[in-house]
Amino acid sequence: MRRRASALALAAALPLVLAGCGSSGGHGSADAATGGARLSVTGAYIPLPSMPDMAAGYFVLHNDGDRAATLTGVTSPDARSVSMHQSTASTMVDLPNVQVPAHGTVTFARDGRHLMLMGLHPAPKLGARIELNLRFEGAAPVTVQATVQPLTYQPGQ
Amino acid sequence: MTSSLPTRRSLLLGALGGAAALLLTACGSSGSATGASSADGSQITPSMQAQSGPYQGDSLGRTFDKPAVTLTDTSGKPFDLVAGTRGKAMLLYFGYTHCPDVCPTTMGDIAVAVSKLPKDQQSKVDVVFVTTDPARDTPSEIRTWLNAFNPNFIGLTGDIDTIIAAAKSVGVYVAAPVKGQEPVHGAQTLGFLPADGKAHVLYTSGTTTAVFEHDLPLLIKGVTP
């Protein structure tokens, strides 16, 4: 119910964003009316977590516009918290924000930049869609449905 | 990861010139062994010899003995690492279960490679996961976590100082978790041969399933790099 309510609220406020999301999983886009940054997301997925209380999220961020934008944070109605991290050789560090250059692509992928989703509720199931809301500085927010994939899923294989 | 390597490598090659080409090729994948040191203080790095060898993982250019420790397995029983894995090939990884990216990626890549081995070969390799966050990772939590990859994988916990010492003895950097900070996982997985029980091959974070798939039969066969 809560999820439907927030979706309705979004639908009223951001028709363009939702139109851009379409129905196919893993794709979302927003066209900022005010600026030159045009952000879209492809290939969003969440490996079915081995622990129910935490998961990683991966996607590819595209900016087809003439101006850079900055990803300042991600939220999800299905997660208690979502943070952006960068894996290093032996640990990971917080990413407060991520620059997306004009006509550039930024990849969140295994062993690199990733989302850490804590407290997912309900517990993710294979094939489920988990909504991610990406907030930007210099561009409108983007909403995308990330698909829950097998734990060992690798895009393009 | 894999797709970025040729770029990085070719940039390096361009900068360093032709003379370094063979050396860099031999150094293999990601060379980042920051903070890793062996018991005698020497850095753990891939072999610097200009030869590729049979393995796609990095030849250590030396060997490490299997850590002579007794830890606790996921049923709560003592597990002597040397005796418990004797006569089998072994992959050894230090990590923690509340790790969203690298730890499950590493175990997942190994699990997929193991699952592609013929059944009789699968029983000839032990995959051992030692927690670097023993205060949080209980034996049953480790079991639940490993079962998502392969129920036969061995999970071990114990006193953090014992785990740090065991990791250090094979050149893997592990530190005790600090409150408010993310725990540390090993930057590499080590490949041990069945006959001598020594580590000969190194797999850095980001090693693909294909590399493990290629190398596991060699490790099981006991091929020296």
Cα gap B199→B192, rounded to integer Å:
4
**Hey, are the CB atoms on B105 and A111 less than 8 Å from each other?**
yes
**Nearest CA-CA distance, residue B43 and chain A, Å:** 15
A151, pLDDT greater than 80: yes
Mean pLDDT (chain A, rounded): 83
A27 pLDDT band, cuts 50/70/90, is low
Query: What letter represents residue A151's amino acid?
Result: L
Say if residue B99 carries a ligand binding annotation.
yes
Tokens describing residue B79:
């597990």
Q: Which of B70, B112, B109 is nearest to B93 (CA)?
A: B109
Cα gap A136→A142, rounded to integer Å:
8
In chain A, whose CA is at the least distance from the CA of B96? A91
Percent of chain A with pLDDT over 90: 64
Q: Which residues of B touch A (CB under 8 A)?
A: 1, 32-35, 97-102, 104-105, 108-109, 111-112, 141, 144-145, 148-149, 173, 182-187, 204-206, 209
Full set of structural domains in chain A with CATH: 2-149 (2.60.40.1890)
Query: What letter represents residue A150's amino acid?
Result: P
A4, pLDDT greater than 60: no
> Does A92 touch chain B if contact means CB atoms closer than 8 Å?
yes
Nearest by CB to A54, which of B98, B102, B209? B98
pLDDT at A51: 78
Cα gap B161→B166, rounded to integer Å:
9
pLDDT at B15: 35
pLDDT at B8: 38
pLDDT at A88: 87
pLDDT at A155: 87
Distance of CA B21 to the CA centre of its chain: 26
> Does A116 touch chain B if contact means CB atoms closer than 8 Å?
yes
**Nearest CA-CA distance, residue A74 and chain B, Å:** 16
For chain B, 225 residues long, give each residue's pLDDT as a single digit of tens: 344 343 333 333 333 333 333 333 333 333 333 333 444 434 444 444 434 789 999 999 999 999 999 999 999 999 999 999 999 999 999 999 999 999 999 999 999 999 999 999 999 999 999 999 999 999 999 999 999 999 999 999 999 999 999 999 999 999 999 998 889 999 999 999 999 999 999 999 889 999 999 999 999 999 999
pLDDT at B63: 96
**Nearest CA-CA distance, residue A33 and chain B, Å:** 34
**Hey, are the CB atoms on A90 and B111 less than 8 Å from each other?**
no
Which residues, at least 6 apart from B151, have a Cβ–Cβ distance to it below 8 Å?
none
A20, pLDDT greater than 50: no
Q: Please give the interface size between A and B, counted as residue pairs whose CB atoms are below 8 Å apart.
A: 83
Burial of A33 (0-12, 13-18, 19+ CB in 10 A): exposed
Return the CATH number of the domain spanning residue range B33-221: 3.40.30.10
pLDDT at B87: 97
Tell me whether 0.85 is exceeded by the ipTM. no
Which residues, at least 6 apart from B29, have a Cβ–Cβ distance to it below 8 Å?
B5, B58, B204, B206, B207, B211
**Hey, are the CB atoms on A51 and B141 less than 8 Å from each other?**
yes
pLDDT at A65: 94
Tally the C-alpha atoms within 13 A of residue B91's C-alpha that lie toward its C-beta.
32
A29 pLDDT band, cuts 50/70/90, is low
- Residue with the bigger pLDDT between A55 and B14: it is A55
pLDDT at B12: 35
